[in-house]
Structure 1
Amino acid sequence: MSESCVRLHFLSLILLCCVSHSTSFFTFKVDSSSYVACGPHQTQALTEFMNEFDSSHCNLSDPFNGVWCDNSTGAVTKLRLSDCLSGTLKPNSSLFRLHHLRYLFLSGNNFTSSTLPFEFGNLNSSSLFELHHLSYLDLGSNNFSSSLPSEFGNLNRLEFLDLSTNDFFGKVPPTISNLTSLTELYLQNNQLTGSFPLVQNLTMLVVLNLVGNHFSGTIPSSLTTMPFLSHLDLRVNDLTGSIEFPNSSTPSRLEYLYLGNNHFEGKIIEPISKLINLTHLDLSFLNTSYPVDFRLFSSLKSLLHLDLSGNSISPASLGSKSDISIDLEILLLRGCGIKEFPNILKNLEKLENIDISGNMIKGKVPEWLWKLPRLNTVFLSNNSFNGFEGPVDVLVNSSVKTLFMEQNYFEGAIPLLPLYITDFSALDNRFTGSIPLSVCNYRSLMLLRLPYNKLTGPIPQCLSNLTFVNLRKNNLEGSIPDAFYKSSSLRSLDVGYNRLTGKLPRSLQNCSSLDFLVVDHNRIKDKFPFWLKSLPNLKVLVLSSNRFYGSISPPPGQGLLGFPELHIFEISDNKFTGSLPPTYFVNWKATYEDGSLYMVHIKNTSGRLCYTYTEAIDLQYKGLLMEQKFVLTSYATIDFSGNRIEGQIPESIGLLKALIALNFSNNAFTGRIPLSLSNLGKLESLDLSSNHLSGTIPNGLGSLSFLEYINVSHNQLKGEIPQGTQITGQAKSSFEGNSGLCGLPLQETCFGTNVPPTQEPPEEDQDQVQVLNWKAVVIAYGPGLLLGLVIAHVMASYKPEWLIKIIGPNKRRNH
């Protein structure tokens, strides 16, 4: 049987289908050069299925997505749609009329308010389930906010089904057991509950992934005797009890077993030690009441990857005299309460990756560790190490490429690193002296993180060749090297809290991949870097607490400010002047509400282990210095406080739908508070204090449900303070210094006085028109618009309570 892959946009599919009812076959374009016929009944079902949703984001020219039809029968056998559907998946969906489906993948969609059909077993109640020849069904990575429809059980020809990451809730329908041809089933990252799904009848199953749900109860013992099951992933559930394996003359075929983050009470290590074909085993964070004996794994001769993180490990079993010989390549022992260096590692000569971070190990790292011949990745973070055994060059000849030794007590000079090092992080230690010029000799070095140390001296010019550089909170001097070459790989540069002088290096314009630039709390003297707007990916720009000066408005003829991807914009406590044009915030990425955590994903050179790290910035919030440990680009923050900016605040500030924190304080803004601020539904912190603002406080601010902090003190505001939970709960000091304001939380009453109304109707009507005009700006903006708009200014800075940490003068960082 042969199949062809369809590649066309579904808009074309719908249009073509509408004119094909009189023909016997529907023609799909394949790879821009060939064609394949799909039966009209199948085409109609597929088209109707697409019409049930907003599919405007579905692009079948994407090689990942597509529709596959059988050349001989015209049946749809394979369907992959990821991250593009939005709507309700109903039990009578046309999807379930595609009875010949063998492969179904609907990853990353937004299905809501529906149930997952059980008809996968017989495919006779809906359009999807008429595609009976489908060999692979994958509905993974979607955002289903519904229960799992039983109709999926009718697709009894399915060989592959992925319903992962869809927020399905409730129990897995028992009709899932009808899918007896399934070889792979993915239900991970949903909200599924109840006991273990009925999969025992799925005798062809090779892969079963149930990660990140709420399944409870015990694991069926029959799983280990399923004839082909080799990959079982049950992490992050609520499973309990112990594991009991039935006696069988045929050994289990399980090779990958992941049980971490559950609630097993019984002893499960001993029965698992009988699964002699295991190569990957995750038993992390099991909440067992007894220490794990490392020696019990000696029978697993094929074991390559072992994760025991978050468990108590028997100290005796980690000693060098333990009789164990496993060809482990990856060993993870994070947060196991280990107090002495695990000498058992000396026996693991094939070890490539070791993680013993988050323990209580003191003293020096033993010299023999660096002599392990295959060692590639070492995590020593969050312990109490203070140095290395052996000579100063003990690391040089090591095969290690990734070394993380954060939050320890290492002191003295930065050590000589392994020759082929790619990633080195020594955040929050006690290193002193200058950054050694030897770092210029490491041709493979990509990531260098040395923040929160006591380093002095200049920044070596060769660091411009790296991709991730973080030297935050040291005592470095001199200027940032102006040596960034064209096509530089630099993505992240943080040199905040040092003693740097000079100007921002103009060669940063060459760093087209740069998305994180932080230089706050230095002595840099320069004008605003409008030239950085040429960087297409810049998301975070922090210039606060330096000696920057001049206007922050674009020079004449340059039009908009630029920075289309910018989400975090902090320029507080400088000497910026001027006013903001009305279009200042037009076309910013922050007009959209989507985004993600600013997180760096790195795969080490061995291809065996992935890790992530997040960048952090410090913000002034309610007069306190706070660290925003996780930089969220799904939100936006703006802080222009402590400058000399004047003029009106542009109504275009209301376009920044992702804005959660806005700080204009301590400037010279005049005019009214923009009514468009009421459009910022995510706003949590607003500080307009110590300006020259006049007029009334917009009523709409009282309806912002997330607004936790507002400060409009020391302006020239008048009228009644809008009443609402979010405003009346504020401190009195947030409104003081405005002689014309009255109402709660101030003591001045508005009754029996001649104070003006909260909103003056004529002026309000005019402002409302202006807000509507700004909504039109988003749709169509032309040069002539500049003649009819008003100049103003914007500032914002905030740190959500759940992401911040107050930084004391001598407090050690927690990561």
Structure 2
Amino acid sequence: MPETLLRLHFLSLLLLSSCAFLSSSSTIDVDDVVVGLVACLPRQIEAFTQFTNEFDTRSCNHSDYSNNGAWCDNSTGAVTKIHLTGCLSGTLKPNSSLFGFQQLRHLVLSNNNFISSTLPSKFGNLNRLEVLILSSNGLLGEVPSSISNLSQLSILKLSKNKLIGSFPLISNLTKLSVLSLSQNLFTGTIPSSIFTMPSLFYLNVNDNHLTGPHEVPDSSTSSSLEFLNLGKNQFEGKILEPISKLINLKRLDLSFLNISYPIDLRLLSSLKSLLDLYLSGNSLLATSLSADSDIPPNLETLVMSYCDLNEFPNVLKTLNNLRGLSISSNRIKGKVPEWLWTLPSLSTVLLGNNYFNGFQGTRKVLVDSSVQMLDIQSNHFEGEIPLPPLSLNAFYARNNTFTGNIPLSFCNRTSLTVLDLSYNNFTGPILQCLNDFKIVKLRKNNLEGNLPDSIPDMLYNGSLLRTLDVGYNQLTGKLPRSLLNCSSLRFVSVDNNKIKDTFPFWLKALPGLQVLTLRSNKFYGPISLPAEVPLAFPKLHILEISDNNFTGSLPSNYFVNWKASSLETNDDGRIYMGDYNNAYYIYEDTMDLQYKGLFMEQGKVLTSYATIDFSGNRFEGQIPESIGLLKALIALNLSNNGFTGHIPLSMENVTELESLDLSGNKLSGTIPKGLARLSFLAYISVAHNQLIGEIPQGPQFSGQAETSFEGNAGLCGLPLQGSCFAPPPTQQFEEEDEEEGVLNWKAVVIGYGPGLLFGLVIAHVIASYMPKWFVKIVGPDKHKEADPASLFDSLDSRWDSSSNHM
């Protein structure tokens, strides 16, 4: 039946007295007069407004008309579809006005914040519903039995909530085709009738507390199930025997079942239609992995990560249709067999986190393979690296002991976009084709020479380069100015080399640059422009330039134009630098970070925070008051410089700050009391300055080590020993200029009468400054690897999410 989209976006509902409508094939502005379309009934508009007013909608994207709103039937004017995701906050009431929409057929209320809400039984009154999606809402309690009244229901998704109780009563919903109950707290068994529902082809109960055994009737030959995900439950008994009756299955996920016996893959040989099989986190019967074992013959994807495999599964020889293979995170030793690369359809191979030490065959063993994505990271591979496959798109060889030069043949792989050879022992020069890739990670090798400075094709066609990490090598020369042609560049790390250059002001022309790490090189000169012009990097939020020879002072407005002081986040509250939700890329943008006084490697660099590290240079003058504008700053390190003046009072506005290091400078005055109100501040060091007065009291300060405040003769109070009310040292402090708004310490001792001495110490400090953000990046020896199996997890989530549009 034709429908008209009612552009009842929340803001429009509250501000407009009338609405415009959209047909399924046209887009009409809100203020347009629509002729020829039947408007929603006024009482329907009023009812929808009433429903949205039951919630806080301030987090809604009021410009996203395509996803959120309501649709009305052209002929009746009744609301038939409501789609409100990611912006409702409040309680879903048992008597909500939502249940007055008796003509409703599609209801999508996912990714909302339904506080202390259960599933109202009145959902059963919406008996015309065909689609009901309530995922990721924090819903509590049991699924009401009235859900079984929805006889027209085709799609039911209740995943990612906190629902409890036994399996919902849905077996009489004969039109149900998609059922997702994953990531809840359901218990008990799966009713056998579920497996013979006539229309059900998608069933996902992953990550619950379901137990077994479950039974599948012999009549299951008529089962429509094609997708079945039972992973992360507590099934017991012989789970594979009943599953083997579901002969129409195409995708089966049995990952992390927590069963006490090894899985015999031969029991699944009857599943001739099975294409994708996920077995990670289980023990597999060794005899079922031998070359002569009978397993589903048409498998295209096989995932066996975290299965404690000790030997290479020779059963793979028989899988001529195999496209995706993951045997990562096992204990397989020896050499990768040569026959693997002869499988005709093989495209994705994940072998990371094992004990492989080489490849059978010659150095050219991979060249003619059909493999497009190859992950061999975190093994014991040594010697020269094999020549890459001609069809290669992404190559991950991080954390091995490869030696020799990086083969020039990488430059001849025109489809190659991701190259990660970091944490090896490669020597020789940097490849001249760096800018031909999207991701280049050569960190912690022994490469030498200059970074390439000109690529002819790049000068005309631009570059796709987004990540360049060549830290911890022996590189010399200057930063190549050809980086200006890399308009997509977001991450640059050249730390711990021997590069000698001035500060790259010219990089501010890159519109998307977010991370710049220059630590421990030979950079020199000022980092501020003449005439106190504010530095302007449109999206830069991590700047690490410690341990160089930078000099000069910073103007008070230095951080005014830093646009990334507040950052947007995605559904889980974070945004990652890399394509971490992309099924094809599994790389991580990592950096070495000095944080809370410790050195560590940070994997998956988040863009939802900002960090600054200027330590170990020769900066002088006052800390810029604009530092307080950097709302997303979580770590600031200005230690071991020559900064003078006061700690800016504006620093108390940096409410996300977790780590602050101002030690080893010449700062004077008192520690601003407002810092004690920074609830996330877990580490602070102001040691070896010229600070005076009482240390602010509060959990942020009392929990610090005494060494964080040592070297300041005028400081007193916990955690230092002694009292602030003892007679002060005979030291004269110069009175600050009244324009600075600061009064220094004074001591007044009044004596009256013999034997009676009253001491009165009056301290009053007013400081005015406003800072912004910066953080540090430093190197560890340990490195966290990306989980290669996330590739297939992402594919699984995309399958699940695609059913939203069915």
| TM-score, normalising length: structure 2 | 0.86
Displacement of 1:472 in angstroms is 0.4
Q: 3-state DSSP class of the match of 1:337?
A: coil
Q: Summarize deviations over 1:748-807 as a string: whole Å, max 9, x none.
A: 311233489xxx999899589xxxxxxxxxxxxxxxxxxxx97978653389xxxxxx94
Is residue 499 of structure 2 the alignment partner of residue 496 of structure 1? no
Is residue 159 of structure 2 the alignment partner of residue 188 of structure 1? yes
Counterpart of 1:506?
Answer: 481
CA, structure 1 residues 56+702, in 2 after alignment: closer, same or farther (shift >3 Å)?
closer
Is residue 15 of structure 2 the alignment partner of residue 3 of structure 1? no
Q: 2:660 aligns with which of 686, 701, 716?
A: 686
Question: Using the alignment, how far apart are the partners of 2:742 and 2:121 within structure 1?
Answer: 55
CA, structure 1 residues 794+250, in 2 after alignment: closer, same or farther (shift >3 Å)?
closer
Equivalent positions of 1:224-303 (< 5 A) are 224-248=195-219, 251-303=222-274
Q: Summarize deviations over 1:191-234 as a string: whole Å, max 9, x none.
A: 33333223233232111112222222222222112221110111
Q: 3-state DSSP class of the match of 1:248?
A: helix
Counterpart of 1:140?
Answer: none
Counterpart of 1:775?
Answer: none
Q: 1:797 aligns with which of 755, 776, 782?
A: 776
Counterpart of 1:80?
Answer: 83
For residue 64 of structure 1, what is the amino acid of its counterpart? N
Displacement of 1:730 in angstroms is 1.1
Contact 2:118–2:142 (8 Å) recurs in 1: no
Contact 2:667–2:690 (8 Å) recurs in 1: yes
Counterpart of 1:516?
Answer: 491
Q: Which moved more, 1:88-97 or 1:685-694?
A: 88-97
Displacement of 1:71 in angstroms is 0.8
Counterpart of 1:363?
Answer: 334
Question: Using the alignment, how far apart are the partners of 2:772 and 2:539 within structure 1?
Answer: 19
Question: Using the alignment, how far apart are the partners of 2:772 and 2:97 within structure 1?
Answer: 52
Q: Summarize deviations over 1:84-128 as a string: whole Å, max 9, x none.
A: 444554444443333221112233344445444332222xxxxxx
CA, structure 1 residues 530+57, in 2 after alignment: closer, same or farther (shift >3 Å)?
farther
Counterpart of 2:716?
Answer: 742
Counterpart of 2:505?
Answer: 530
Q: Summarize deviations over 1:243-265 as a string: whole Å, max 9, x none.
A: 22234365321110011112222
Q: 1:676 aligns with which of 650, 672, 676?
A: 650
Contact 1:572–1:640 (8 Å) recurs in 2: yes
Counterpart of 1:43?
Answer: 45
Displacement of 1:163 in angstroms is 1.3
Question: Using the alignment, how far apart are the partners of 1:597 and 1:9 within structure 2?
Answer: 26
For residue 454 of structure 1, what is the amino acid of its counterpart? N
CA, structure 1 residues 790+683, in 2 after alignment: closer, same or farther (shift >3 Å)?
closer
Is residue 579 of structure 2 the alignment partner of residue 601 of structure 1? yes
Displacement of 1:531 in angstroms is 1.7
Q: 2:591 aligns with which of 610, 617, 620?
A: 617
Displacement of 1:400 in angstroms is 0.7
Question: Using the alignment, how far apart are the partners of 1:73 and 1:812 within structure 2?
Answer: 62
Is residue 519 of structure 2 the alignment partner of residue 547 of structure 1? no
Q: Summarize deviations over 1:244-297 as a string: whole Å, max 9, x none.
A: 223436532111001111222222111111111110000011111101111111
Question: Using the alignment, how far apart are the partners of 2:660 and 2:90 within structure 1?
Answer: 35
Question: Using the alignment, how far apart are the partners of 1:654 and 1:178 within structure 2?
Answer: 57
Contact 2:592–2:777 (8 Å) recurs in 1: no
| TM-score, normalising length: structure 1 | 0.86
Is residue 445 of structure 2 the alignment partner of residue 474 of structure 1? yes
Equivalent positions of 1:36-435 (< 5 A) are 36=37, 37-52=39-54, 53-54=56-57, 57-59=60-62, 62-122=65-125, 155-248=126-219, 251-435=222-406
Q: 3-state DSSP class of the match of 2:586?
A: strand
Q: 3-state DSSP class of the match of 2:592?
A: strand
Counterpart of 1:700?
Answer: 674
Q: Which moved more, 1:349-358 or 1:192-201?
A: 192-201
Question: Using the alignment, how far apart are the partners of 1:681 and 1:764 within structure 2?
Answer: 27
CA RMSD of aligned residues (A): 2.8
Displacement of 1:388 in angstroms is 1.3
Equivalent positions of 1:751-790 (< 5 A) are 751-754=725-728, 766=741
Displacement of 1:650 in angstroms is 2.4
Q: Count residues in correspondence.
A: 741
Contact 2:567–2:607 (8 Å) recurs in 1: no
Contact 1:696–1:720 (8 Å) recurs in 2: yes
Question: Using the alignment, how far apart are the partners of 1:813 and 1:67 within structure 2?
Answer: 45
Question: Using the alignment, how far apart are the partners of 1:672 and 1:583 within structure 2?
Answer: 16
CA, structure 1 residues 56+262, in 2 after alignment: closer, same or farther (shift >3 Å)?
closer
Q: Which has the higher contact order (CA 8 A, sep 6+)?
A: 2
Contact 1:662–1:687 (8 Å) recurs in 2: yes
Q: Could you tell me which runs of 5 or more consecutive residues in structure 2 were left unpaired when the two chains were aligned.
A: 29-33, 744-767, 787-806
Counterpart of 1:591?
Answer: 565
Question: Using the alignment, how far apart are the partners of 1:55 and 1:704 within structure 2?
Answer: 26
CA, structure 1 residues 168+677, in 2 after alignment: closer, same or farther (shift >3 Å)?
farther
Contact 1:7–1:61 (8 Å) recurs in 2: no
Question: Using the alignment, how far apart are the partners of 1:115 and 1:457 within structure 2?
Answer: 63
Q: Summarize deviations over 1:650-699 as a string: whole Å, max 9, x none.
A: 23222222222111100111111122222333222111100111111112
For residue 516 of structure 1, what is the amino acid of its counterpart? F
Contact 2:379–2:400 (8 Å) recurs in 1: yes
Question: Using the alignment, how far apart are the partners of 1:539 and 1:201 within structure 2?
Answer: 54
Displacement of 1:309 in angstroms is 0.7
Displacement of 1:543 in angstroms is 1.1
Q: Summarize deviations over 1:571-619 as a string: whole Å, max 9, x none.
A: 1111112222222223535532643242533799xxxx64533221112
Counterpart of 1:727?
Answer: 701
Q: Which moved more, 1:163-172 or 1:287-296?
A: 163-172
Contact 1:580–1:793 (8 Å) recurs in 2: no
Contact 1:675–1:698 (8 Å) recurs in 2: yes
For residue 277 of structure 2, what is the amino acid of its counterpart? L
Question: Using the alignment, how far apart are the partners of 2:771 and 2:652 within structure 1?
Answer: 17
Question: Using the alignment, how far apart are the partners of 2:237 and 2:563 within structure 1?
Answer: 52
CA, structure 1 residues 227+793, in 2 after alignment: closer, same or farther (shift >3 Å)?
closer
Question: Using the alignment, how far apart are the partners of 1:751 and 1:475 within structure 2?
Answer: 58
For residue 775 of structure 2, what is the amino acid of its counterpart? A
For residue 40 of structure 1, what is the amino acid of its counterpart? P
Displacement of 1:402 in angstroms is 0.5
Q: Which moved more, 1:503-512 or 1:280-289?
A: 503-512
Q: 1:653 aligns with which of 627, 636, 639?
A: 627
CA, structure 1 residues 793+208, in 2 after alignment: closer, same or farther (shift >3 Å)?
closer
Q: Summarize deviations over 1:124-175 as a string: whole Å, max 9, x none.
A: xxxxxxxxxxxxxxxxxxxxxxxxxxxxxxx221111111122323333333
CA, structure 1 residues 761+223, in 2 after alignment: closer, same or farther (shift >3 Å)?
farther
Contact 2:9–2:69 (8 Å) recurs in 1: no
Displacement of 1:637 in angstroms is 1.5
Contact 2:541–2:565 (8 Å) recurs in 1: no
Q: 3-state DSSP class of the match of 1:120?
A: helix
Question: Using the alignment, how far apart are the partners of 1:792 and 1:371 within structure 2?
Answer: 60
CA, structure 1 residues 753+196, in 2 after alignment: closer, same or farther (shift >3 Å)?
farther
Contact 1:521–1:544 (8 Å) recurs in 2: yes
